[in-house]
Chains A and B, each alone.
Chain A
Amino acid sequence: MTGRDVAAGRLDAMTLAANFADAHPPLTAAQAVVEASRCYFCYDAPCLEACPTGIDIPGFIRKIATGNLKGAAVTILESNIFGGSCARVCPTEILCEQACVREAQEGKPVDIGGLQRHATDWLMDQDIQPFIRAPATGRRIAVVGAGPAGLACAHRLALHGHTVTVFEALPKPGGLNEYGIAAYKVPDDFAQREIDFILGIGGIVIEHGKALGRDITLDQLRRDYDAVFLGLGHAAVNALGMGAEALAGVTDAVAFIAVLRQSPDKAVLSIGRRVVVIGGGNTAIDAATQARRLGAEDVTLVYRRGPAEMSATPVEQDWAKTNGVRIRHWAEPRHLIGRDGSIAAVEFERTTLGADGKLAGTGQLFTLEADMVLSAIGQRLLPQPVPMLTLAGGRIAVDEERQTSLPGLYAGGDCIAGQDLTVSAVQDGKLAAEAIHRRLTVGA
């Protein structure tokens, strides 16, 4: 047995380019009209209710059908300023499209995501700024985190005439849209183009390299600004343990995905011949699938429970399988087996549900050889910068308006409870912005 088989450039440049190009190409104009015509324009439409941001889906689809693409895009963006990226990354199969009455009727919902992309892409291609800011209010709001929650909040506040400063620790804005999503879902620098569009409204300044608790403090922000919104996301990943940090080749999947996204040339990225991914969420799927697309020969995703318990949707699981990822359920890692300081294999124990309904080991072991292990066993909030805030389940506790335990301090996105989705983060930011606006204007 030779040493660890990790190499860059396993695939030729053309194959790599194809593997990281748009995984789901856009609808053509003709396809969009035909697909839009499938929408029944339901009364009290179930899809609309299933959208966390409440986009008037039948309304925008009808506008596509009639050729009113600007109207369609504005209808989307009024409810969800990240409508373009949500069209690409939303798990529509568990949201609007699951609720579509066509799904009930014939098992084939209207392609709402595809239509949403058609309209928003059109608008961005025209370079139209459809929103006009209200007259300046003189109010200043601080937003921490330039991810979807923070920027959705900033945009809505700017729309109402407020001035917003966004503090972002990383060199680029976008949060998970820029760093945390598979490259083929948002190719062609879409995340940055969308943010340019969002910032085009004016009144928003992003200060990069500013981390809460390191460069700025909450006290400072609360003192200097009329209101504060926290869109902190998950700054920490759960540790795999088992001595992972001592072994070369064991990486957290979030970092793997971020590096991949930030590399314009995928040929320089090293990937193992045999890759084991541990976890059951979309991060695990994105890591495993992209490992395959980088040229890994054998990728196995191992999850400790069954397919129904995976937080990755069935569509995502199928996507991984289509890409040649093997998914093994009901197994937990027990030992990382190293050789000369590098990972060589992972020993798993088969699991089952015990009589008490809790996960239990069966004592049966198996080993998967691995040149690389990607750990995707969850992310969490780093609470150190916000010690004064009440937490619930490890996340910042908020009320319906997304206000934290401190008045004038709001939070949204992955740092609060709820579904960890871009679309939910956008809704949090939007609701918080409206609450802040009310707070600053009522009795003003």
Chain B
Amino acid sequence: MADLRTTFAGIRSSNPFWLASAPPTDKEYNVVRAFQAGWGGVVWKTLGEDPPIVNVSSRYGATSYNGTRVSGFSNIELITDRPLAVNLAEIKAVKRAWPDRAVVVSLMVPCTEDSWKRILAEVEDTGCDGIELNFGCPHGMSERGMGSAVGQVPEYVEMVTRWCKQHSRMPVIVKLTPNITDILAPARAAKRGGADAVSLINTVMSIVSVDLDLMAPTPVVDGMGTHGGYCGPAVKPIALRMVGDIARDPELAGLPISGIGGISTWRDAAEFVALGAGTLQVCTAAMHHGFKIVDDMIDGLGNWMGQKGYPTIDAFRGLAVPRYVHWDDLNLNFKTIARIDQDLCIRCGLCHIACEDTSHQAIAAVRLDGHRRYEVIDPECVGCNLCQHVCPVDDCITMVPQPASAAPVTWKDHPANPLRRVAAE
């Protein structure tokens, strides 16, 4: 049986599945229920200075896709709206009762050294395992000079991280905002500031939908809406890319990454780990289905690891990173051609119309004795694989690698590249 225990930036947890800093981790009541359900850790919902912030009603927006609810999720909620002392007391009690689980505390206070110094001492006193700096919240707090307002300025990220390392002995995880052009800039700044790890992504700035009757962005608060932070399954591809960028950056080598962004299943988790994440943080999936989902995450990941022969998370962590390359490292002489399995084909014609209308006119629609038949026109097929994606039948369309016509060549060396490298004479 695979061993799912993790040690992440010195923080131990019984499995890599943590609840991200969000409503599910706002109170002792929720966190205890999560630990009872089997979650390996939590990042407690962000603490700030008293007096507590005030929240609005309603707070969430969601995208439904073809009847599937919450394929994307957005919130305009702020950090915890409970007094600091209440949160600190509960954190202390929970950590004492659940020593094998990770209890990390998310923090966000004004960008002055005194503010950070003050709260760090109080948090350290709870016995929690570490802190996560919320440099990501893109709404409400950013207008007050906190959250993503800090995370979007690498110098601030470095400065605050340094304060936290100076004024506490706790491991420091810096949570990064995706609302930035180059994710490497704040990640490198965090490392310069002494961060023990980074976590990403925080939410993506968004308007999740417009209410066409009220003519206002949702959620509508007394007739008005504001932008929120987008998360859930829809943002997973964005998160994976940013995690991969950090994992392969030589300057950031060895910096632990806690993956966040649309993780809903063990398979999502495995993909994040393959791209270098050491722990996984989950929020939307739990808010959609409750804490019980962790059961299959643990079980499914363990079963898959067992099947693949990976005894620990570290055994496969980052295995996909060396294969995440830049476009100009790809072999331009590699070619595949679509093959349609006529026995599996259900004659929906989607491959044909996608190719005919929007691509390369490489799939013919023919009738044989009145029966529909869709056939690849090999010389026209560029192997783009659009047909494979639109085909509703698993394994009906496969992309078959063609015998190499020439030695592998990348754009760096390609004859069509005017800036190509010239081989030394």
Partner-B contacts on A (CB < 8 A): 30, 33-34, 37, 40-46, 65, 101-102, 104-105
**How near does chain A come to B289, taking the closest CB pair, in angstroms?**
18
Residues of chain B contacted by A33 (CB below 8 angstroms): 66-67
Residues of chain A contacted by B350 (CB below 8 angstroms): 40-43
Given A104-B346, A105-B392, A34–B372 Cβ distance below 8 Å?
no
**Chain A interface, >50% SS class:** helix
Q: How far is the CA of A118 from the CA of B392 in the complex (A)?
A: 25
Q: Cβ of B393 < 8 Å from any Cβ of A?
A: yes
Given contacts A42-B350, A43-B350, A105-B392, 6 further A-B contacts (CB under 8 A): A37-B66, A42-B347, A43-B352, A44-B352, A46-B372, A101-B347
Structural contact, B392 and A40, CB atoms closer than 8 A: yes
Q: Cβ of B386 < 8 Å from any Cβ of A?
A: no
Q: Cβ of B365 < 8 Å from any Cβ of A?
A: yes
Q: How far is the CA of A44 from the CA of B346 in the complex (A)?
A: 12
Sampled A-B contacts (17; CB under 8 Å): A30-B67, A34-B67, A37-B66, A40-B348, A40-B350, A40-B392, A41-B350, A42-B348, A42-B350, A43-B349, A43-B353, A43-B365, A46-B347, A101-B346, A101-B348, A102-B346, A105-B392
Partner-A contacts on B (CB < 8 A): 66-67, 346-350, 352-353, 365, 372, 392-393
**How near does chain B come to A32, taking the closest CB pair, in angstroms?**
9
Residues of chain B contacted by A37 (CB below 8 angstroms): 66-67
Q: How far is the CA of A78 from the CA of B48 in the complex (A)?
A: 62
Residues of chain B contacted by A34 (CB below 8 angstroms): 66-67
Nearest 8 interchain pairs by C-beta: A43-B349, A37-B66, A43-B353, A34-B67, A101-B346, A42-B348, A104-B346, A101-B348
Q: How far is the CA of A213 from the CA of B365 in the complex (A)?
A: 52
**How near does chain B come to A65, taking the closest CB pair, in angstroms?**
7
**How near does chain A come to B21, taking the closest CB pair, in angstroms?**
33
Structural contact, A44 and B67, CB atoms closer than 8 A: no
Which chain A residue lies CB-closest to B68? A37
Which chain B residue lies CB-closest to A103? B346
Q: How far is the CA of A46 from the CA of B367 in the complex (A)?
A: 12
Q: How far is the CA of A19 from the CA of B350 in the complex (A)?
A: 43
Q: How far is the CA of A30 from the CA of B346 in the complex (A)?
A: 27
Which chain A residue lies CB-closest to B354? A43
Q: How far is the CA of A416 from the CA of B350 in the complex (A)?
A: 38
Structural contact, B66 and A65, CB atoms closer than 8 A: yes
Q: How far is the CA of A42 from the CA of B347 in the complex (A)?
A: 8
Residues of chain A contacted by B353 (CB below 8 angstroms): 43
Q: How far is the CA of A325 from the CA of B217 in the complex (A)?
A: 58
Q: How far is the CA of A350 from the CA of B66 in the complex (A)?
A: 54
Structural contact, A44 and B365, CB atoms closer than 8 A: yes
**How near does chain A come to B372, taking the closest CB pair, in angstroms?**
6
Structural contact, B393 and A105, CB atoms closer than 8 A: yes
Residues of chain A contacted by B372 (CB below 8 angstroms): 44, 46
**How near does chain B come to A169, taking the closest CB pair, in angstroms?**
41
Which chain A residue lies CB-closest to B374? A43
Which chain B residue lies CB-closest to A32? B67
Q: How far is the CA of A216 from the CA of B249 in the complex (A)?
A: 92
Structural contact, A43 and B67, CB atoms closer than 8 A: no
Q: How far is the CA of A37 from the CA of B71 in the complex (A)?
A: 15
Which chain A residue lies CB-closest to B349? A43
Structural contact, B393 and A44, CB atoms closer than 8 A: no
**How near does chain B come to A20, taking the closest CB pair, in angstroms?**
33
Residues of chain A contacted by B352 (CB below 8 angstroms): 43-44
Q: How far is the CA of A33 from the CA of B65 in the complex (A)?
A: 10
Q: How far is the CA of A34 from the CA of B353 in the complex (A)?
A: 24
Contact of B347 among A30, A41, A65, A104 (CB under 8 A): A104
* Residue of A34, A44, A45 contacting most chain B CB atoms (<10 Å): A44
Residues of chain A contacted by B66 (CB below 8 angstroms): 33-34, 37, 65
Contact of B349 among A30, A42, A104 (CB under 8 A): A42
Structural contact, A44 and B349, CB atoms closer than 8 A: yes
Q: How far is the CA of A37 from the CA of B67 in the complex (A)?
A: 7
**How near does chain B come to A33, taking the closest CB pair, in angstroms?**
5
Residues of chain A contacted by B347 (CB below 8 angstroms): 42, 46, 101, 104
Q: How far is the CA of A375 from the CA of B162 in the complex (A)?
A: 94
Q: How far is the CA of A101 from the CA of B67 in the complex (A)?
A: 21
Which chain B residue lies CB-closest to A42? B348
Q: How far is the CA of A37 from the CA of B353 in the complex (A)?
A: 19
